[in-house]
Amino acid sequence: MPDARLVVGAPLSLTGRYGFLGGLAAAGLRQVVQGARTLGGIRIGRERLAPELHVVDDGGTRAGVGRALEEVAEAGLLVGPYGSDLVDEAARWAAERGRVLWNQGGSADEVERLPGVVSVPSPASRYLGPVLEALADSLPGARVLVAAGRRPFGRSAALGAREAADRLGMTLVGTVAPKEVPEASDADVVLAAGTFAEDVELVRHLRARPAAVAAVAAGISLFGPTLGPGAEGILGPSQWEEGARFPVDLGPRQADAVRALRAEVLPTLRPGPGGVDYPAAQAYAAGLVAMRCAEEAGTTEDEALLETARGLRCTTFFGRFGLGEDGRQEDHEILVVQWQQGVKRIVWPPSLAEASPIL
């Protein structure tokens, strides 16, 4: 193993409101660093460096993010926290210092517009459109109600849902707070984009379900055990699923990445859900992309890293990576899952589907 180090620093919520999801992201970063070390480190210029991970708990608060970032300020690669509001705080901190922030856990569109942010996951405005696409043939002209939180993520997701409904000939009958959804809505489709707790409570609240209900929280394995039989039939967007298969040209194959993540994640979840969720995978992928950019740039100088990231096109086990002219993540594709017989299955797009949507 090389003597020289490349520190990967990350403020992550190991406690607080994002503690579960931040823990998954930390697991993904541990695996990408361990994988690089197993291969003898990464070559940057004439040196081969041993990656080393430094995670600091941000406690799920913006103030905590600032304190954590000061502890990892000298890291060669700076990976952002989980949660769009916390990524916003980290991105502003990084912009003031001319740093690149490798964004693995914040999907609000506002985050991607900040300078120096390189996002691996798809933006929130693209979360709910694929759900409506999956339903378009079965529910032509559907009436759609969006229940969105007030945070940046919810606002972005709601805007994307409106645009998708217009494009697909559906009617958006309203955008309300999660607590304002009636027990018996007259909409054909209810889309929820609140926090995990808000989405779960909304599903429990629906006394008479419409033809289709989708919730962002349904993309997380904990959703099923939390709701039990109540999760049956609920759709949800997902950045990644274990069952997806992509033609990888950067990093490990899907099967190897899943095996490594399961070994890292599952012991911490028992007796909880039995799958690996996308927060772990997208953090892993963010590490792969950041390290590849450092290798191609031949330096960890931030301006060179950002220029390299803007020109990079690749496919990891997480899916495609590619930034548009505006610097936003453009190539990565959102999947749609549905809970069927107690299991989360991919139902969209057709090329990756494990099952058909059930209304």
Contact assessment for residue 174 and residue 189, using Cβ atoms and an 8 Å cutoff: no
Query: Rounded distance, CA 85 to CA 75, Å?
Result: 22
Share of the chain above pLDDT 70, in %: 96
- Per CATH, domain 5-122+242-322 is 3.40.50.150: no
Q: Specify the pLDDT at position 271.
A: 40
pLDDT, position 276: 82
User: Averaged over 316-339, what is the pLDDT?
Assistant: 96
Q: What is the rounded average pLDDT of the residues 344-348?
A: 96
Q: What confidence tier does 22 reach under pLDDT thresholds 50, 70, 90?
A: very high
**Contact criterion met (CB below 8 Å) for 153 and 124:** yes
User: Lowest mean pLDDT: which of 98-102, 109-113, 188-192, 321-325?
Assistant: 109-113
Is the pLDDT at 14 greater than 70? The verdict is yes
Which pLDDT does position 316 carry in this prediction?
98
Report the pLDDT averaged over residues 36-51. Answer: 93
Q: How much is the pLDDT for 263? A: 85
The residue ranges of every structural domain in the chain are 5-122+242-322, 126-238
pLDDT of residue 266: 66
Query: Stretch 313-320: mean pLDDT, rounded?
Result: 97
Question: What is the layout of strands, in order, in the sheet containing 235-238?
Answer: 171-176, 143-148, 189-193, 212-215, 235-238, 335-340, 343-348
Longest pairwise C-alpha distance within the chain:
65
Q: Tell me the average pLDDT across 184-204.
A: 94
Q: Do domains 5-122+242-322 and 126-238 have the same CATH topology?
A: yes
Q: What is the pTM of this model?
A: 0.91
Determine the pLDDT at residue 305: 98
According to CATH, the topology of domain 126-238 is Rossmann fold (3.40.50)
104-158 pLDDT per residue, tens? 999 989 888 888 999 999 999 999 999 999 999 999 999 999 999 888 889 999 9
For the chain, what is the mean pLDDT? 93
**Mean local confidence (pLDDT), 59-78:** 97
- pLDDT at residue 328, rounded to an integer: 92
pLDDT, tens digit, 9 for 90 and up, residues 244-295: 999 999 999 999 999 998 887 766 654 445 568 889 999 999 999 999 999 9
pLDDT-above-90 percentage for the chain = 84
Q: Report how far residue 334's alpha carbon sits from residue 356's, in angstroms, rounded to the nearest whole number.
A: 16
Whether 300 contacts 310, CB under 8 Å: no
Residue 304: per-residue pLDDT: 97
